[in-house]
Amino acid sequence: MIRKIANHQLYLLILSYFKEMIREPGILFWGIAFPILMSLGLGVAFTRKSDVVRKVAVINQPGLEASQPHANLKIIDFLDKHAVRDTVPGNENLTYRINLPDDKMGNTILLFQQTGWNEAMVLLKRGNLNVVMEEKNGKISYHFDPLNPDAQLTYLRLSKLFGNENPEIIANNDHVEPLTLSGTRYIDFLVPGLIAMGVMMSCMWGLSYGIIEKRSKKLLRRMVATPMKKSYFLIALITVRVGMNFIESGLLLLFSWIVFGITIQGNLPSLILLFIAGNIAFAGIAVFISSHTSSTEVGNGFINAIVMPMMVLSGVFFSYHNFPDWSITFIQKLPLTILADGIRSIIIEGAGYKEVTIAFIILITTGVVFFIAGLKIFKWH
Amino acid sequence: MNSFPVIDVRDVYKSFKSVDAVKGIDMHVDRGQFVAVLGPNGAGKTTLVEMIEGIRKPDKGEIQIMGKKWKGNEDELHQIIGLSLQETKFIDKLNVRETLRLFAGFFGLGGERVEEIIQIVGLEDKIKSWVVNLSGGQRQKLALGIALLNKPKILLLDEPTTGLDPAARQEVWTILRKLRDKSETSLILTTHYMEEAERLCDFIIIIDKGKILKQGTLEQLLNGDGSKRKVLEFTLDNPGSSTEKLLNDSRFRIKWEGENEKGIVEFASWEEDIPVFMSFLKKSELRLKNLEFRKKTLDDLFISLTGRHLND
């Protein structure tokens, strides 16, 4: 019996592909270490707030030099009263600093610099400045790009500050309760996205590229010139790939549980089923796009054409709800979006079978349709 | 004894977008026969063999293997054919034994046959080396080993020694000679090395530009124009107006290679013909710079048929 299995075509193919894969150190790095490092990097970058520095330019009155400090009476008076005067070596302009401490949302430092209009515009273009302030006839006006959320926030803080006689109170007088419980942080959003992306990348690059490479090396042709069952060739490749994806995603989840305390809020079996459906979807697409070409360059192009748009649109790193409304219905139909949203809903929102049934059906159907179409046109020689 | 040839190719044609690769070839191979398809690069050898292998379909004509067409008999024919393609690359990071094991599995064969094959092709020292680390000769031996796994009735080898150094080529030849002595395997081998065809094969088919130029045993081919089996190559110290006279003399029928300034003459007998040639030179006051005697080869035949060398 054991002998029979050990000599079985499918077993030998799976074993060979598995060895081929684990003997490639690059696969272990890009498949396992890279997603973990990415989650660590992004997770840390977006969870620990450092001091935010917001830079403001104060415009001199027209016709007056920077050395005539009291041109902007109201603003400068305020700064003289409440801010610390900074001297920057080599810079003759007046600079001030206001520290707004906040143990919940992170400290903010406002840096004021007195400049001319032209100089301010240059700094603004370089992204070195958030807001420009100017005083005309005793009224303060603010210049900034209203589409830039950073600039908007700076403006809001400034206008509150300059409208208040006692600025120290402002920082703490609102009652802010930061949401740091599991499921609402950026890392909670990110990890399910990384899992979905991992499945896509591994299937598209691992499977498609693997098939195309075997065709271009004439290995495929050599293999089908034996009594090997053609279906076993693909089944073995897919099995090894999906197995690897389980290991990769399992390790990523384990890592994010240990480091960030992420737990699966929803139903684990439904997550596994959805994960398998995602694998089937992308394996099907991978077989389809690698069904004909024997050029790895062309294959590269195909794979990128599929992978890149979904990487950008499907909300792996940031929510796709920031895209224009008309595009969202389209984005939601992409397989990566369906998979990422599904995994997210189970891990973060605690969803179960019922919530992901539709996603499951769509992914399986996508995979099967592409797989069958790919087989129809598959070039074995 | 089978009444039909092991391989029967009848009036086969194959074209690609811009080339007519094979233009009406007939050939057949009997049981145990070793046949060489000899021709320069681009002659259509690979296309012909790939049609026999079932990899390509002929545009026109018919191919039968053991009396069977490819269509509908793929599984059966794959069981009895062993082949090596031109430059197949196997899985880089599998070792020799694992690679043979995988292919043995395709034929339902176990580890014993793998060990036998490792002996036959002489890769005992390399069983644990990854394919990617093998030399060209070792890779070719592995490919040959894979082709021999199923003890094939028919072996199809596409340029098995192209790109190998002379020592590695000899090793491959030794393996094939042993096979010829020990089994009833029929072989078709494509090559552009005349020595390979001469030393290994019972029957030689010379093809060029998709057509058969000549076929037969080595004897038949070389004796084609009478019994002139001896070749004399010479260069002259003072080629001039008398050279013209020499070349035009109908007794010698000299082929003159302008670029090398070399003359080639075929003789039936050294003893009788050389004195005649020498006295002609003397009379014409032509002085020899260099003179070489050798046996006639397939390359000479190919030159006489096409005006080109096999390796051009």
Digit-coded pLDDT (tens) for B133-171: 999 999 999 999 999 999 999 999 999 998 888 999 999
Identify any residues that bridge with B37 across adjacent strands, giving them in sequence order: B190, B205
CA distance A123 to chain B (A): 56
Do A195 and A68 share a structural domain? no
Nearest to B189, CA basis, from B36, B27, B69, B58: B36
For residue B94, give the nearest of A16, A217, A227 by CB distance. A16
Q: B103 to chain A: which residues are within 8 Å by CB?
A: 226
In which residue are the tokens 């090396």 written? A217
For residue A227, give the nearest of B93, B106, B130 by CB distance. B106
C-alpha R_g of chain A: 29
* Exposed/middle/buried for residue A226 (C-beta within 10 Å: 0-12, 13-18, 19+): buried
Q: Does B101 touch chain A (CB under 8 A)?
A: yes
Q: Which residue has the higher pLDDT, A306 or B242?
A: A306
Residue A148 within a domain: yes
Do A285 and A203 share a structural domain? yes
Q: Does B88 touch chain A (CB under 8 A)?
A: yes
* Per-residue model confidence (pLDDT) at position A83: 82
The count of residues in chain A is: 381
Do A162 and A196 share a structural domain? no
Average pLDDT, stretch B266-288?
84
CA distance A4 to chain B (A): 9
Q: Is the pLDDT of residue A346 over 90?
A: yes
* Per-residue model confidence (pLDDT) at position B1: 47
Q: Is the pLDDT of residue A139 over 90?
A: no
SS3 category, A100: strand
Dist. CA A363–CA A9, nearest whole Å: 29
Q: What is the CATH number of the domain that holds A89?
A: 3.40.190
Burial A80-93 (b: 16+ CB within 10 A, else e): eebbeeeeeeeeeb
Q: Is the pLDDT of residue B262 over 60?
A: yes
Burial B61-79 (b: 16+ CB within 10 A, else e): bebbbbeeebeeeeeebbe
Q: B150 to chain A: which residues are within 8 Å by CB?
A: 226
Dist. CA A202–CA A113, nearest whole Å: 51
Q: Which of A1, A4, A10, A16 would you mutate first to test chain B, the one with the most B CBs within 10 A?
A: A16
Q: Which residues are within 8 A (CB) of A296 and not within 5 positions of it... i.e. 6 or more apart?
A: A209, A212, A213, A216
Q: Does B73 touch chain A (CB under 8 A)?
A: no
Average pLDDT, stretch A336-359?
92
For the four alpha carbons of B134, B139, B141 and B145, in that order, the dihedral sign comes to positive
Q: Which two tokens stand for residue A365?
A: 């159907």
CA distance A28 to chain B (A): 15
Q: How many domains would you assign to chain A? A: 2
Q: Write out the DSSP string of B37-98.
A: EE--TTSSHHHHHHHHTTSS--SEEEEEETTB-STT-HHHHHHHEEEE-TT----TTSBHHH
Q: Which residues are within 8 A (CB) of A238 and not within 5 positions of it... i.e. 6 or more apart?
A: A207, A283, A287
CA distance B74 to chain A (A): 8
CA distance A275 to chain B (A): 29
Dist. CA B271–CA B32, nearest whole Å: 40
Q: Is the pLDDT of residue A65 over 60?
A: no
Q: A1 to chain B: which residues are within 8 Å by CB?
A: none
For residue A12, give the nearest of B90, B105, B146 by CB distance. B105
Do A187 and A255 share a structural domain? yes
Quick one: pLDDT band at residue B232, thresholds 50, 70, 90?
Answer: confident
SS3 category, B161: coil
- Sheet of strand A139-143: strand arrangement: A84-86, A95-100, A108-115, A52-59, A131-136, A139-143
Q: Which residue has the higher pLDDT, A68 or A76?
A: A76
Do A347 and A217 share a structural domain? yes
Query: Other CB atoms closer than 10 Å to residue B279's CB: what's the count?
Result: 10
Q: Which residues are within 8 A (CB) of A381 and not within 5 positions of it... i.e. 6 or more apart?
A: A220, A221, A224, B55, B56
Do A199 and A240 share a structural domain? yes
Residue of B nearest to A233 (CA): B106
Q: Does B80 touch chain A (CB under 8 A)?
A: no
* Exposed/middle/buried for residue A241 (C-beta within 10 Å: 0-12, 13-18, 19+): buried
H or E element that contains B26: strand B20-29
Q: Which two tokens stand for residue A158?
A: 């400034």
Which range among A298-302, A355-359, B101-105, B282-286 shows the weakest confidence by mean pLDDT? Answer: B282-286
The answer to whether the CB atoms of A19 and B54 lie below 8 A apart is no
CA distance B106 to chain A (A): 5
At residue B274, what is the residue type? Answer: I
Write A331-338 long-range contacts (CB < 8 A, 24+): A334/A309, A334/A310, A335/A200, A335/A278, A335/A281, A335/A282, A335/A285, A335/A310, A335/A362, A335/A363, A335/A366, A336/A196, A336/A197, A336/A200, A336/A310, A336/A311, A337/A310, A337/A313, A338/A362, A338/A363
Do A136 and A238 share a structural domain? no
Q: B92 to chain A: which residues are within 8 Å by CB?
A: 20
Dist. CA A347–CA A334, nearest whole Å: 20
Q: Is the pLDDT of residue B95 over 90?
A: yes
For residue B93, give the nearest of A8, A12, A20 by CB distance. A20
Dist. CA B302–CA B214, nearest whole Å: 9
The predicted model scores a pTM of: 0.79
Residue A177 within a domain: no
* Per-residue model confidence (pLDDT) at position B282: 85
Q: For A51, which DSSP code?
A: P
Q: Which residue has the higher pLDDT, B1 or A251?
A: A251
Average pLDDT, stretch B247-266?
79
Quick one: pLDDT band at residue A148, thresholds 50, 70, 90?
Answer: confident
Do A329 and A196 share a structural domain? yes
The backbone torsions φ and ψ at residue A24, rounded to the nearest 5 degrees and listed phi first, read: -105, 100
The answer as to CATH 3.40.50.300 being correct for domain B7-217 is yes
Quick one: pLDDT band at residue A144, thresholds 50, 70, 90?
Answer: confident
Q: Which two tokens stand for residue A46?
A: 């977006």
Do A131 and A113 share a structural domain? yes
Q: Which CATH number fits domain B230-295: 3.40.640.10, 1.10.3720.10, 3.30.1060.10, 3.30.70.100?
A: 3.30.70.100
Tens of pLDDT, residue by residue over A83-105, are 888 776 666 677 888 888 877 77
Q: Is the pLDDT of residue A224 over 80?
A: yes
Q: Max CA-CA distance within chain A?
A: 97
For residue B78, give the nearest of A12, A24, A225 by CB distance. A225
Burial B234-250 (b: 16+ CB within 10 A, else e): bebeebeebbeebeeee
Identify any residues that bridge with B290 across adjacent strands, giving them in sequence order: B235
Q: Which of B70, B84, B99, B102 would you mutate first to test chain A, the one with the most A CBs within 10 A?
A: B102
The answer to whether the CB atoms of A228 and B106 lie below 8 A apart is yes
Q: Is the pLDDT of residue B93 over 90?
A: yes
Average pLDDT, stretch B232-254?
78
H or E element that contains B235: strand B230-236
Average pLDDT, stretch A112-124?
86
β-strands B211-216, B81-84 pairing? unpaired
At residue A222, what is the residue type? Answer: R
Dist. CA A79–CA A57, nearest whole Å: 13
* Per-residue model confidence (pLDDT) at position A72: 63
> Do the Cβ atoms of B200 and B177 come closer than 8 Å?
yes
Dist. CA A131–CA B152, nearest whole Å: 82
Quick one: pLDDT band at residue A169, thresholds 50, 70, 90?
Answer: very low
Do A193 and A85 share a structural domain? no
Quick one: pLDDT band at residue A243, thresholds 50, 70, 90?
Answer: very high
Q: Does B93 touch chain A (CB under 8 A)?
A: yes
Tens of pLDDT, residue by residue over A182-202, are 667 888 889 999 999 999 999
* Per-residue model confidence (pLDDT) at position A59: 84
Nearest to A16, CA basis, from B150, B139, B106, B135: B106
Nearest to A264, CA basis, from A363, A336, A191, A340: A191
Q: A219 to chain B: which residues are within 8 Å by CB?
A: 88-91
For residue A20, give the nearest of B91, B108, B109 by CB distance. B91
Do A368 and A297 share a structural domain? yes
Dist. CA A132–CA A141, nearest whole Å: 8
Residue of B nearest to A380 (CA): B55
The answer to whether the CB atoms of A218 and B75 lie below 8 A apart is no
Tens of pLDDT, residue by residue over B59-80, are 999 999 999 999 999 999 999 9
For residue A19, give the nearest of B85, B94, B110 by CB distance. B94
Q: B89 to chain A: which residues are within 8 Å by CB?
A: 217-219
Q: Which residue has the higher pLDDT, B280 or A70?
A: B280
Q: Where are the domains of chain B?
A: 7-217, 230-295
Domain finish residue from A170, A202, A225? A170
Q: Is the pLDDT of residue A303 over 70?
A: yes
Q: Which residues are within 8 A (CB) of A377 and not within 5 positions of it... i.e. 6 or more apart?
A: A291, A292
SS3 category, B293: strand
The count of residues in chain B is: 312
Do A298 and A232 share a structural domain? yes
Give the domain range for residue A286. Answer: 8-46+182-376
Average pLDDT value over all residues in chain A: 85
The backbone torsions φ and ψ at residue B130, rounded to the nearest 5 degrees and listed phi first, read: -65, 145
Chain A contacts to B (CB-CB under 8 A) = 3, 7-9, 11-13, 16, 19-20, 23-24, 217-219, 221-223, 225-228, 381
Nearest to B202, CA basis, from B30, B66, B84: B30
Which range among A248-262, A278-292, B104-118, B216-230 shows the weakest confidence by mean pLDDT? Answer: B216-230
Q: Crossing angle for the helix pair B96-106 and B136-148, nearest 10 degrees?
A: 30
Q: Does B255 touch chain A (CB under 8 A)?
A: no
The answer to whether the CB atoms of A8 and B105 lie below 8 A apart is yes
CA distance B75 to chain A (A): 6
Q: B81 to chain A: which residues are within 8 Å by CB?
A: 225
CA distance B214 to chain A (A): 30
Average pLDDT, stretch A217-227?
92
Q: Does B124 touch chain A (CB under 8 A)?
A: no
H or E element that contains A145: none
Q: Is the pLDDT of residue B48 over 80?
A: yes
